[in-house]
Structure formats: structure tokens, C-alpha cells
């Protein structure tokens, strides 16, 4: 990925191109910091090129300054219609175009503001997205494309933005980029490579890279001892042993205790209730919730947040075999509740049940779980928002508001007590799937039965946003790392 620099410290060699984003009706050069002489030269050039800032407009010419060869204006349309998605897509376009043109060192001016955000909020978003905009996953390609990629991204300061201020913002963008990249890489790794144990070792590696994290991995022996019937049950059809990965960030005087739970199904075939062949390969992404948790923990450690944060990742592979769980089987979750497995494809809630119950050990004030849990959530909200459910209205509202700010939208769905009747079993305490109706909220209701008492809890169904079947809103195809920015912002807000 391209390194981030301040334009002020641009290399002696001229940059290949300077890209300037622009909304219609505004002169972008007025909002960027230049010397009077440079500004004059740029203005004259802009006048000759005549960019109008309209959406999808791209206009290039020779750069009048000696520090760059070319100058390109990229239009974004009206500023009061500028969304996170449009800005992200424009940044991605810049990186794609620079890569295609073999521009290795580029300048980037982003004198535009996402509508509804403060200057600072918008700036942080833009820098963070610029830092991640050239993400690709080529680990399994024999021919790597790293030599064809931009390696230096030189950010033009905004008018009035001090060197210190910009450096702090760049530092934060780099930090979040590292977490997002890690989560995307984990998500994109195929099931044969990223097994439950491989997810555990990738987590161990991450915890060695940063200071302040402790990782413990529960294997078969410990899971049996803890009677984690959900995790053991789902994994029993696979040759791959299950794991429960525990990542702990325990600062000296923590202000709060938060547990983050991530669904880590490294491949979900559906099990005996097997999924149709078409599109089954997408189910390698069924551990995106886990990836988000790993990414958040990395950021939390690097930021040294004074909050106790524990990540819990139940990791399994859901396959059919002679030893797999079958519809009708009754399993016992670690809290003693029995569950009739009505559908082996509703496996996420079974492993999350054990993990949610386990969260009690860490005395959490707040528990948030992240899961690619239901196809119904994708039907309801598409790829524009995650569904959130929970037992604390204020917490749901806080997340919804923050999501609007950071560009990771979440939308509340109800957990009416009547939904519990959908999960009534004739033979056990509960069954794991209801009828066709209300797929997302019945899954949420199922999880709720395993949340420790007196804990504020949110369930985030990221089935539609955790990975994308093609580029969308300026996000890459594949894993997105959804939820990392939102969660880090949320944890920071807890400290205010």
C-alpha cells in the first residue's frame, strides 16, 4: 500500500501527478495551502483547463509547478450532495487511475467536505479512505502487482491546517488503515488457507506485533471442559478443530469493560442443511465478524485506550459429513440451555451463544457482537447498512449516529418479545431457526437468550456489508473491514 506523506515534505524528484478533488461551484485552490506564487500559477492553469467540478469529470494537463509533472482535477458534483460513498469512490478512482498510468508518487488535495460532517470529521474520513483506497488482495497470485502501484501519497495541506495537525491525522489514518487491511486480508483468505487454527495463529501474530495484547486460544480440550456445545456441535462435521480465540487488552486503570464477539465461521457450507452450489464460495467470508474484532483490538492496543477490551472469536468450519450435526439433534450450550438444531445452516447463532455466555467472565458493561448472520438482513438493508439489534436504546442510537459520521451505517431492527415464540421447540428449550419470516430479528432474539444479565448488548448483522460481491461505494470487492472505524470511534466516545 502507498505510504502517506505531507506534501510539504515532497521528494526532490517531481511527483508524477497532483490530483485535486473538486465540488462544483467552488474553487478548490482557495481551500488548499500554497505559496502565493504557486497558487497564482495553478489558478492560471485551472482557468485554461476549465474544470467545473461536475460529478465524474476528470481533467488533466501539465502541472505548472516544477514539483509535479501533471495536474488532474477530479469532479465530485454539488457539495451539499457529497456523501461518504461518493468521496470514497473518487479516492478509489484516483488510485486506480494513478496505478493505470504508472504514477508512483502522487500529490492529493482533498479540499471538499462530506455533507453534514464537521471539517475535522470529514478530513479524518477522507484521509483514512485515501490511505485504504488502493487495497488489493494478491496473496495467491503468482504475479504480484505491487510494482505497478502508487508508493507515495503526498497529501496537500488544507488552508490553515498546521503541520502538526496534519501529521496527527495522517498517523490516525495509517493506524486505522493497518487494522482495516488486516481485517480485509483475513476475510479474503479462502477456507482451505484460513482454517480456525490459522485464524488463531494470525491473531497470535497480530498480538506479537503490537504491545499490550494477550491472546489465549481454547482448543478441543478446553472447549469440552467448558461444555461449549454450540461451538463443538457446529464443528463436529469438519476435520478442522474448533477454537475459541480470546484477545485481551487490559490497561492499568480501565474506565469501562467492553467485550467484542466476532463470528468466525471460516467456511459455511450450511452443513447437512447444505446451501445451493451457486454462490457457496462467498461463504469463505463468514468470518468477517471475527476479522473486524481482530482489527479493532489491534487499533485499541495501538491507541492505548484506557478501556478493558476483550475480543472473543468462536472459530469453526461448518461442513456436512458422517459426523456432522443433523436437523433434529439437540445440543446443550455452555449455559445449560438446550437447542434443537432445526437447520444446520443457522450455525452462527450456535457458536455465538457459547461466546456471548462466556463474555460474563470479563464483567463487561457492554457487549457487541459482529456477525454475517442472516441472508434476510441483506434482503432488508442491502449493502448500505448493517442491521443492529439490542437491549439498550441509547447504545443503539449512539452507534447509529456515529455510523452516519464515520461512513459505516447501522440501522436498528426490533427485538419484540413475541419473536421468541418463533423459536419454540417441542423437544428442547429453543430451536435454532424460525419460519421464513423475520429471519434477522429471530436470529437476534436467539442470541439475546445467551447475553449475560445487566449487560448493554448490541448485535450487528454485517451479512450485507462485511464483504461485497463487486466494488461498491468506493469499497473493494471482497472483505471490507466494516465496523472497525465505527467501533474505534465508539470506544473513544466512551471516554468523553
What residues act catalytically? Answer: 275, 349
- In the complex with Mn ion, the residue whose CB is nearer, 380 or 433, is 433
Instruction: Give 13-56 as a DSSP string.
Output: SPEEEEEEEEEETS-GGGGB---HHHHHHHHHHHHHH-----TT
What does DSSP assign to residue 327? Answer: T
Residue nearest to Mn ion (CB): 345
- In the complex with Mn ion, the residue whose CB is nearer, 350 or 413, is 350
Minimum separation from the CB atom of position 161 to Zn ion (A): 45
Give dist(CA 430, CA 424) in Å, integer: 5
Sorted by sequence, the CB contacts under 8 Å of residue 47 that are 6+ apart come out as: none
**Element of type H or E holding 265:** strand 264-268
Site string for Mn ion, 334-373 (x = CB under 5 A): -----------x-x--------------------------
Give dist(CA 446, CA 334) in Å, integer: 15
Q: Is the dihedral of CA 58, 59, 63, 69 positive or negative?
A: positive
Q: Residue 433 binds which entry of ligand BES, Mn ion, Zn ion, none, with Cβ cut-offs from 5 to 8 Å by kind?
A: ligand BES
> Is 268 an interacting residue with respect to ligand BES (CB under 6 A)?
yes
> Is 268 an interacting residue with respect to Zn ion (CB under 5 A)?
yes
Stretch that binds Zn ion, among 15-23, 119-127, 170-178, 260-268 (CB under 5 A): 260-268
Minimum separation from the CB atom of position 395 to ligand BES (A): 24
| Binders in 336-365 for ligand BES, by CB under 6 A | 343, 345-348
Q: Using CB under 6 A, pick the residue from 238, 266, 374, 445 that binds ligand BES.
A: 374
> Is 317 an interacting residue with respect to ligand BES (CB under 6 A)?
no
> Is 348 an interacting residue with respect to Zn ion (CB under 5 A)?
yes
Minimum separation from the CB atom of position 292 to ligand BES (A): 14
HSE, side-chain direction, 13 A CA sphere, residue 372: 29
- The number of residues making up the chain comes to 496
Q: Using CB under 6 A, pick the residue from 223, 261, 433, 479 that binds ligand BES.
A: 433
> Is 376 an interacting residue with respect to ligand BES (CB under 6 A)?
yes
Minimum separation from the CB atom of position 2 to ligand BES (A): 31
Count interface residues toward Zn ion (CB under 5 A).
Answer: 4
Residue 16: C-alpha distances to residues 106, 155, 164, 232 (Å): 6, 14, 26, 55
Residue 478: which region, alpha, beta or left (left: phi > 0; alpha: psi -120 to 50)?
left
Q: Residue 463 binds which entry of Zn ion, ligand BES, Mn ion, none, with Cβ cut-offs from 5 to 8 Å by kind?
A: ligand BES
Q: Please report where in the chains the cell 478446553 appears, as a residue.
A: 222
> What strands, in cross-sheet order, belong to the sheet with 338-340?
330-332, 338-340, 430-431
Sorted by sequence, the CB contacts under 8 Å of residue 192 that are 6+ apart come out as: none
> Is 461 an interacting residue with respect to Mn ion (CB under 5 A)?
no
> Is 408 an interacting residue with respect to ligand BES (CB under 6 A)?
no
Give dist(CA 26, CA 47) in Å, integer: 13
Minimum separation from the CB atom of position 400 to ligand BES (A): 22
CA dihedral 114, 93, 102, 174 (to 10 degrees): 40
- Return residues touching Zn ion (CB under 5 A): 265, 268, 286, 348
For ligand BES, the binding residues (CB under 6 A) are: 268, 286, 343, 345-348, 372-376, 378, 433, 439, 463
Amino acid at each position: 500500500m502507498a505510504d502517506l506523506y505531507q506534501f510539504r515534505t515532497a521528494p526532490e524528484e517531481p511527483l508524477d501527478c497532483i490530483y485535486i478533488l473538486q465540488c462544483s461551484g467552488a474553487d478548490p485552490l482557495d481551500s488548499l495551502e500554497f505559496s502565493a506564487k504557486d497558487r497564482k500559477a495553478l489558478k492560471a492553469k485551472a482557468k485554461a483547463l476549465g474544470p467545473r467540478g461536475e460529478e465524474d469529470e476528470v481533467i488533466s494537463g501539465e502541472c505548472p509547478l516544477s514539483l509535479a509533472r501533471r495536474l488532474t482535477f477530479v469532479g465530485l458534483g454539488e457539495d451539499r450532495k457529497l456523501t461518504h460513498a461518493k468521496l470514497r469512490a473518487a479516492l478509489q478512482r484516483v488510485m486506480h487511475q494513478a496505478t493505470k498510468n504508472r504514477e508512483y508518487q502522487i500529490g492529493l488535495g482533498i479540499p471538499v467536505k462530506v455533507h453534514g460532517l464537521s471539517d475535522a470529521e470529514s478530513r479524518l474520513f477522507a484521509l483514512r479512505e485515501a490511505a485504504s483506497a488502493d487495497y488489493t488482495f494478491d496473496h495467491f497470485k503468482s504475479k504480484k502487482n505491487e510494482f505497478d502501484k502508487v508508493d507515495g501519497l503526498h497529501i496537500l495541506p488544507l488552508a490553515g491546517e498546521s503541520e502538526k495537525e496534519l501529521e496527527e491525522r495522517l498517523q490516525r489514518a495509517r493506524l486505522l488503515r493497518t487494522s482495516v487491511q488486516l481485517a480485509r486480508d483475513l476475510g479474503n483468505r479462502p477456507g482451505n488457507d484460513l482454517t480456525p487454527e490459522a485464524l488463531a495463529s494470525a491473531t497470535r501474530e497480530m498480538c506479537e506485533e503490537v504491545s499490550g495484547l494477550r491472546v489465549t486460544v481454547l482448543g478441543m480440550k478446553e472447549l469440552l471442559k467448558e461444555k461449549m456445545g454450540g461451538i463443538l456441535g457446529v464443528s463436529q462435521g469438519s476435520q478442522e478443530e474448533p477454537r475459541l480465540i480470546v484477545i485481551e487488552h487490559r490497561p492499568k486503570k480501565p474506565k469501562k469493560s467492553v467485550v467484542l464477539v466476532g463470528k468466525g465461521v471460516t467456511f459455511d457450507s450450511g452443513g447437512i442443511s447444505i446451501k445451493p452450489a451457486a454462490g457457496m464460495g462467498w461463504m469463505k467470508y463468514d468470518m468477517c465478524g471475527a476479522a473486524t474484532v481482530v482489527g479493532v483490538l489491534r487499533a485499541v492496543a495501538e491507541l492505548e485506550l484506557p478501556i478493558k477490551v476483550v475480543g472473543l472469536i468462536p472459530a469453526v468450519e461448518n461442513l456436512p459429513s458422517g459426523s456432522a450435526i443433523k436437523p433434529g439433534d439437540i445440543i446443550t450450550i455452555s449455559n445449560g440451555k438446550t437447542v434443537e438444531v432445526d437447520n444446520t445452516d443457522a450455525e452462527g447463532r450456535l457458536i455465538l451463544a457459547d461466546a456471548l455466555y462466556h463474555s460474563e467472565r470479563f464483567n463487561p458493561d457492554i457487549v457487541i457482537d459482529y456477525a454475517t448472520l442472516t441472508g434476510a438482513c441483506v434482503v432488508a438493508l442491502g449493502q448500505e447498512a448493517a442491521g443492529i439489534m439490542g437491549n439498550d436504546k441509547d447504545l443503539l442510537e449512539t452507534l447509529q449516529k456515529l455510523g452516519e459520521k464515520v461512513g459505516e451505517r447501522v440501522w436498528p431492527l426490533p427485538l419484540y418479545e413475541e419473536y421468541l415464540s418463533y423459536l419454540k421447540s417441542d423437544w428442547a428449550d429453543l430451536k435454532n431457526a424460525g419460519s421464513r419470516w423475520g429471519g434477522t430479528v429471530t436470529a437476534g432474539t436467539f442470541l439475546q437468550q445467551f447475553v449475560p444479565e445487566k449487560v448493554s448488548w448490541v448485535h450487528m448483522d454485517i451479512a450485507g456489508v462485511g464483504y461485497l460481491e463487486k466494488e461498491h461505494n468506493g469499497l473493494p470487492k471482497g472483505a471490507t473491514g466494516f465496523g472497525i472505524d465505527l467501533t474505534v470511534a465508539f470506544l473513544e466516545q466512551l471516554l468523553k
